[in-house]
Structure 1
Amino acid sequence: MSKTKVLLLGATGETGASILEGLARDGSFDISIAVRPASADKPAVRALADRGFSILSIDLSKKVNASVLTPFDTVISSIGPESQQSQLNFARAAKAAGVTRFVPCGFITVCPPGGIMALRDAKEEVYNLIFKLHLPYTIIDTGFWHQISFPPLPSGKLDEFHFLGENKLYGDGNAPNLLTDLRDIGPFVARIIRDPRTLNKKVFTWSDELSQNEIYALAEKLSGESIDKKPFALEEIEAVITKAKQAVDADPTNIGLQMGLWSQEYNMSKYYREDNTRKVALYLGYLDAKELYPDFKPITFEEYFKEILEGKGNRPYAGRF
């Protein structure tokens, strides 16, 4: 049987790397990597070429020649959050090339569009073009990673793994949240894109649906440490978001300010609105990946936390932030 030809954009990022490894391990795909011209000679890209992946240099700031995408059955984008609109040219070329499945850069928490999360709305702009073009698609959201969902410990034992470095308790701490281990995104994607049931559908992945209180309780139980939780009220996060929006409006090209806003909007959506839940995902029309693939056993949050307590694992974005 011939392999599905896949072009992956963003393979050197955290999500993209997981997708690449998942597709490679699955064995059903002939994988090529798309990179910006400015990135073609970067060490991470050269390392992928050394592994035998074909590298295509594509300038998404310009009209993309459809012939570049003609050889591919499936195109997947895991581009950085600041570059969502660059997918618009990619999608137009995919339609012209006859690509049979376009996977735009979703891979975030479940949330409705319309002014709740600026990052979500940027992604939805791409989705709306896909729908306008009648481009075959699959949208995949992944909840929040295990790797950025655990609190720091007073002893500092987990500091080498911690990215966010905070132990705020948002609201009453009881909002449930969908969680996926970063390493499982790739295996989930491999199953999703070879499944005809997911064509022209939205899918969400998860291993656990846990509240902050449940995460803190598990962390205290497994570590034997008592965590000092810092309550953070709705009024406080509203004030922080207002200030962050003002800063972005004053300096709209500052990616650091944008990331600060996105982070707080994630928290508002997850913990106060309770958007990132199985209930809301099903309401919004998503398919549940755990129901689609009952044979796949994702890494649970507890399993992940035990790993890092034993000193295993890597901090996300190591060397980048």
Structure 2
Amino acid sequence: MGSKILIVGGSGYLGTYMVKASIAMGHPTYVYARPITPETSPSRIESRKEIQSLGATLLQGELDEQEKLVLAIKQVDIVISTLAIPQALEQLKIIDAIKVAGNIKRFIPSDFGVDEDKATALHPFQACLDKKKIVRRAIEAAEIPHTFVASICLGGYFLNHLFPVHDKSQEITVYGTGEAKAVLALEEDVAAYTVRVANDPRTSNRMVFYRPAGAIVSQLELISLWESKTNQVAKRVHLSAEELVKLAETSPHPHNVRACIIYSIFVKGDTVNFELEENDVEIGNLYPDFKVTTTDQLLDRWLSDPPKLEYTDL
């Protein structure tokens, strides 16, 4: 039997992939999630039914309920958080509960995006990254065994933003020059290697990055690939870097944050424009056997079955 894994936020967008990967790898899998209320979205309810049908154990509770959270943590060996960006500081409650429980062999906080220690972003996205930094420093200060996983774009999620989902005649926005490179990772791949590194002694207290050549692409390259697969000529609308900055400064929340994220990833190239440091490790070096989903394969999958989600899901 594999190590027992608790996924906090396991009924959310990325969390559902994480639960499926954990179960597929033979780990007894637990999900800590808020109790269902009349306000709970139908998609979340369906997600919970699905993960329970796969064999996950659902533990309901609020993050404020430390006693419930500690009891949940005491049942497992590993905690993985997939909480959304607005809930970043809520992870401090998970850290406190892990300290009380005293049994966790590895904690992976919810990063899975632009790395907060390597990138400098536009405000208010920088404010989001600063909150994630607070979480990282709290984990380190508490001396909790951990792995930080970052610097990726969730492929299906971002393809939903970059391309028209249903009407291929719609315009496609090119951000900046369109030449900045980004890592586009299939959600299933992100979940699979996250569960794998959570159990790997070589990744304890280290940064893990996913940068295979086959998953690194510019927006212009991606649009050309989309055109070849759909037999469509994209109606391109160019949004300059300066215009995107202006949108970030003037748009209401959360559109301002989205503009900042697009600027960071598709103008600055913040998922790839840095060198790995001594304590950093790349997935390909850890697992030469890991079968990477290439950009070409990712786009094929997305065109046949784009994820049904709202941006708030992340």
Question: Of 137, 142, 146, which aligns to 1:137?
Answer: 146
Q: CA RMSD in A?
A: 2.8
Could you tell me which residue of structure 2 aligns to residue 203 of structure 1?
208
Q: Are 2:171 and 2:236, in contact at CA under 8 Å, matched by a contact in 1?
A: no
Matched, 1:152 2:163: yes
Match of 1:37, SS state, is coil
Q: Which residue of 2 aligns with 1:14?
A: 13
* Structure-2 residue corresponding to 1:48: 51
Runs of 5+ unmatched residues, structure 1: 248-256
Structure 2 counterpart of 1:24: 23
The corresponding residue for 2:61 is: 58
CA distance in structure 2 between the partners assigned to 1:202 and 1:166 by the alignment = 38
Q: Which residue of 1 aligns with 2:296?
A: 302
Q: Which amino acid aligns with 1:82?
A: P
Find 2:173's aligned residue among 149, 168, 172.
Answer: 168
For 1:316 and 1:145, locate their aligned partners in 2 and report how far apart those are by CA, in whole Å. Answer: 14
Aligned equivalents of 2:260 and 2:209: distance in 1? 20
- Partner secondary structure for residue 61 of structure 1: coil
- 1:160 Cα deviation (Å)? 7.2
1:236 corresponds to 2:243: yes
Give the corresponding residue for 1:193.
198
TM-score, normalised on structure 2?
A: 0.84
Question: How far apart, CA to CA, are the structure 2 residues paired with 1:295 and 1:237?
Answer: 40
Are 2:119 and 2:270, in contact at CA under 8 Å, matched by a contact in 1? no
In the alignment of these two chains, the number of paired residues is 298
Alignment partner of 2:221: what SS?
helix
Q: 1:281 to 1:4 in 2, by over 3 A?
A: farther
Q: Could you tell me which of 247, 262, 266 is aligned with 1:271?
A: 266
3-state SS in 2 of match to 1:280: coil
Distance 2:231 2:11 in 1: 37
Q: Is the 8 A contact 2:107 2:198 kept in 1?
A: no
* Aligned residue in 2 for 1:86: 90
Q: Deviations over 1:173-224 (max 9, x none)?
A: 1111111011212211122111111111111224511111111121222222
Task: Structure 2: state its 5+ residue gaps.
Answer: none
User: For the Cα contact (< 8 Å) 1:170–1:272, is it kept in 2?
Assistant: yes
**Contact 1:7–1:76 (Cα < 8 Å) also in 2:** yes
The structure-2 alpha-carbon separation of the partners of 1:76 and 1:201, relative to structure 1 and needing over 3 Å to count, comes to same
Q: Could you tell me the TM-score, scaled by structure 1's length?
A: 0.83
Deviation, structure 1 residue 17: 0.9
